[in-house]
C-alpha cells in the first residue's frame, strides 16, 4: 500500500476525533456555557446534520478542483472550525463551529475513498478504503480517550485545541505524501453528475448503509448504561470496554476490506449477517459477567466496522466513474443518518420496553440492511441475464 494512504488515514484520524470527542465533554461544556446536558447533546446532532447536508453539496461545488488541493482545503476548514470552537463564547457560536467543521467530514471521506481506490490495483481497492478508514477507528481507540483526558485535566477548550494541532499535523502529512498527479476523471456537467441519483443500485447501497450501520448505533449509543446498569460495571470497566470496542473496530475494518477485495456482495452477506447475530446476542451478553460483556463489546466493534469497506465499495460500484465521488460522499451522509436513526430507535425502545430491548431492535435494523443486500444481488443478476439474452 502506498504511503499516501497513510496520509489520508491521518486526516481521517483528526476528523474522527473531532466528531466523537464531544461525547466525553458534554458535562464540562454544559457547565461552562450554562446550558443543560440535553442542549449540549444537540452539538452531536448538529454535527451529524452538517455531515449529511454538507457532503453532497460540497462535493458537487468542488467537483472541478484537483483532488489534492481539495483535500488540503478541507483540512484548513477543519483546523479553522476547531480553533473557532476553542474561542466560542456561547452555545450558538460553538454550534456554528461544530457545523463548520462537519462540512469537511463527508467530502473528505467521500473524496478520500475515491482517491484511495485510484492509488492501488483493482483487487486492492477495498483494502485501500479500509486503510483510510483505519484513521477513524484509531480515533475511537486513541483520539477520543486522549481528548477526553485533556478536557478533564485542562478544560474542554484545550481538547479542541489539541484536535486543531492534530489537523495541522495531518495537513503537513497530506501536503508531503499525497501525489499531485492523482488520477481524476474529467468532471461531468452538473446535470450528468446528478443523474446518478436515478440509479437504483445507488439507493439500494445507501439503504444498506443507513439500516445496516443504524443497528450498530441503536445499541452502541446506549452501551454505557447497559454496562453500568445491567452488567453493574464500574467506571473503569466501562472505560476498558470502550477501548476494546475501538480495538475491535480497528481489526474489523481491515478484515472487512480484505473480504471485500474477494467479492463485495459476499463480504456484505458475511459482515452484515455476523452483525445481526452479534446484536441479537446483546440481550444475553449484558446480563452476564463483566468479562463476558467486555468480550461482547470487543466483538461488536469487530463486526460493526467490518461492514464499512464493503458498504462503501458497493455504493461506488452502483454508479459509473463519473458519479463515484458524489456516490461516495452520499454514503458518508448515509452513515451519519444511520447513526441518528439508530440512536432514535434505541431511545424509543428503551423508553417503552427497557434497556435490554435495544439489542433486538438494533438487530432488526441491521437485518433490513441484509434484505437490501438480497434485493441488490437479485437486481444485478437480473440485469446480467437480460444483457446476456439480448446479446
Q: What percent of the chain has pLDDT over 70?
A: 91
Decide which of 321 and 233 is more confident. 233
Per-residue pLDDT, averaged over 359-368, amounts to 93
- What is the Cα–Cα distance from 117 to 178, expressed in whole angstroms? 13
**What pLDDT score does 322 carry?**
62
Q: What is the pTM of this model?
A: 0.76
Count of other CB atoms within 10 angstroms of residue 276: 22
Q: Which of 352, 57, 40, 9 is nearest to 169 (CA)?
A: 9
Residue-averaged pLDDT of the chain: 84
pLDDT of the residue at 354: 82
265: nearest Cα among 375, 137, 364, 129: 375
- Determine the pLDDT at residue 186: 58
CA distance 388 to 340: 42
Helix ranges (H only) for the chain are: 3-20, 26-33, 37-61, 67-86, 91-118, 125-138, 144-154, 156-177, 190-194, 200-220, 223-225, 235-261, 264-285, 290-306, 308-317, 324-353, 357-390
| 1-177 and 193-391 in the same fold | yes
Residue 62's SS3 state is coil
CB contact burial 26-61 (16+ within 10 A = b; e otherwise)? bebbbeebebeeeebbebbebbbbbbbbbbbebbbe
pLDDT for 383 equals: 55
- 3-state SS class at 65: coil
Q: What is the CATH number of domain 193-391?
A: 1.20.1250.20
Q: How much is the average pLDDT of 210-220?
A: 89
| Location of C-alpha cell 464500574 | 234
Q: CB under 8 Å to 114, separation ≥6 — which residues?
A: 67, 316, 324, 325, 328
Give the least confident one: 73-82, 247-256, 340-349, 364-373: 340-349
Q: Domain residue spans in the chain?
A: 1-177, 193-391
- Among 368, 365, 367, 369, which Cα is nearest to 341's? 365
Q: Is the pLDDT of residue 86 over 90?
A: yes
Under 8 Å CB-to-CB from 154, ≥6 apart: which residues? none
pLDDT tens digits, one per residue of 106-164: 888 888 888 888 888 888 888 888 888 888 888 878 887 888 788 878 989 999 999 99
Per-residue pLDDT, averaged over 241-248, amounts to 86
Secondary structure of 278-314 as H, E, C letters:
HHHHHHHHCCCCHHHHHHHHHHHHHHHHHCHHHHHHH
- CA dihedral of 139, 143, 145, 149, whole degrees rounded to 10: -160
Q: How far apart are CA 347 and CA 157, in angstroms?
A: 29
Measure the CA–CA gap between 289 and 381, rounded to whole angstroms.
46
Statement: residue 389 has pLDDT above 60: no
Average pLDDT over residues 215-222: 85
Q: How far apart are CA 289 and CA 297, in angstroms?
A: 13
Task: Judge whether 180 and 66 are in contact, CB under 8 Å.
Answer: yes
Which carries the bigger pLDDT value, residue 20 or residue 37? 20
Q: Give pLDDT, residue 210.
A: 92
Share of residues in the chain with pLDDT > 90 (%): 28
Q: Residue 354: left if φ>0, alpha if ψ -120 to 50, beta else—which one?
A: left
CA–CA separation, 77 vs 79, rounded Å? 5
CATH T-level fold of 1-177: Growth Hormone; Chain: A; (1.20.1250)
Amino acid at each position: 500500500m502506498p504511503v499516501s494512504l497513510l496520509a489520508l488515514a491521518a486526516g481521517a484520524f483528526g476528523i474522527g476525533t473531532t466528531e466523537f470527542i464531544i461525547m466525553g465533554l458534554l458535562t464540562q461544556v454544559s457547565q461552562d456555557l450554562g446550558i443543560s446536558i440535553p442542549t449540549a447533546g444537540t452539538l452531536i446532532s448538529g454535527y451529524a446534520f452538517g455531515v449529511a447536508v454538507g457532503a453532497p453539496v460540497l462535493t458537487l461545488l468542488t467537483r472541478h478542483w484537483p483532488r489534492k488541493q481539495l483535500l488540503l482545503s478541507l483540512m484548513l476548514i477543519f483546523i479553522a472550525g476547531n480553533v473557532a470552537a476553542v474561542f466560542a463564547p456561547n452555545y450558538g457560536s460553538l454550534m456554528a463551529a461544530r457545523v463548520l467543521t462537519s462540512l469537511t467530514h463527508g467530502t473528505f471521506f467521500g473524496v478520500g475513498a475515491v482517491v484511495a481506490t485510484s492509488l492501488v490495483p483493482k483487487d486492492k481497492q477495498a483494502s485501500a478504503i479500509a486503510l483510510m478508514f483505519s484513521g477513524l477507528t484509531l480515533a475511537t481507540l486513541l483520539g477520543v480517550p486522549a481528548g477526553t483526558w485533556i478536557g478533564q485535566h485542562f478544560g474542554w477548550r484545550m481538547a479542541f485545541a489539541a484536535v486543531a494541532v492534530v489537523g495541522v499535523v495531518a495537513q503537513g502529512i497530506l501536503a508531503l505524501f499525497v501525489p499531485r498527479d492523482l488520477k481524476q476523471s474529467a468532471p461531468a456537467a452538473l446535470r450528468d453528475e446528478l443523474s446518478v441519483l436515478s440509479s437504483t443500485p445507488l439507493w439500494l447501497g445507501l439503504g444498506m448503509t443507513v439500516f445496516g450501520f443504524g443497528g450498530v448505533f441503536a445499541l452502541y449509543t446506549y452501551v454505557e448504561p447497559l454496562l453500568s446498569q445491567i452488567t453493574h460495571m464500574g467506571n473503569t470497566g466501562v472505560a476498558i470496554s470502550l477501548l476494546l470496542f475501538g480495538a475491535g473496530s480497528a481489526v474489523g475494518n481491515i478484515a472487512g476490506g480484505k473480504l471485500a477485495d474477494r467479492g463485495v456482495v459476499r463480504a456484505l452477506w458475511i459482515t452484515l449477517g455476523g452483525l445481526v447475530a452479534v446484536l441479537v446476542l446483546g440481550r444475553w451478553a449484558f446480563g452476564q459477567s463483566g468479562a463476558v460483556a467486555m468480550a461482547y463489546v470487543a466483538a461488536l466493534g469487530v463486526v460493526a466496522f467490518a461492514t464499512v469497506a464493503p458498504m462503501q465499495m458497493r455504493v461506488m460500484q452502483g454508479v459509473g466513474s463519473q458519479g463515484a465521488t458524489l456516490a461516495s460522499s452520499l454514503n458518508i451522509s448515509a452513515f451519519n443518518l444511520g447513526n441518528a436513526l439508530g440512536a432514535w430507535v434505541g431511545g424509543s425502545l428503551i423508553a417503552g420496553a427497557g434497556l435490554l430491548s435495544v439489542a433486538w431492535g438494533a438487530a432488526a435494523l441491521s437485518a433490513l440492511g441484509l434484505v437490501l443486500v438480497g434485493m441488490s444481488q437479485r437486481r444485478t443478476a437480473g440485469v446480467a441475464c437480460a444483457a446476456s439474452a439480448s446479446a
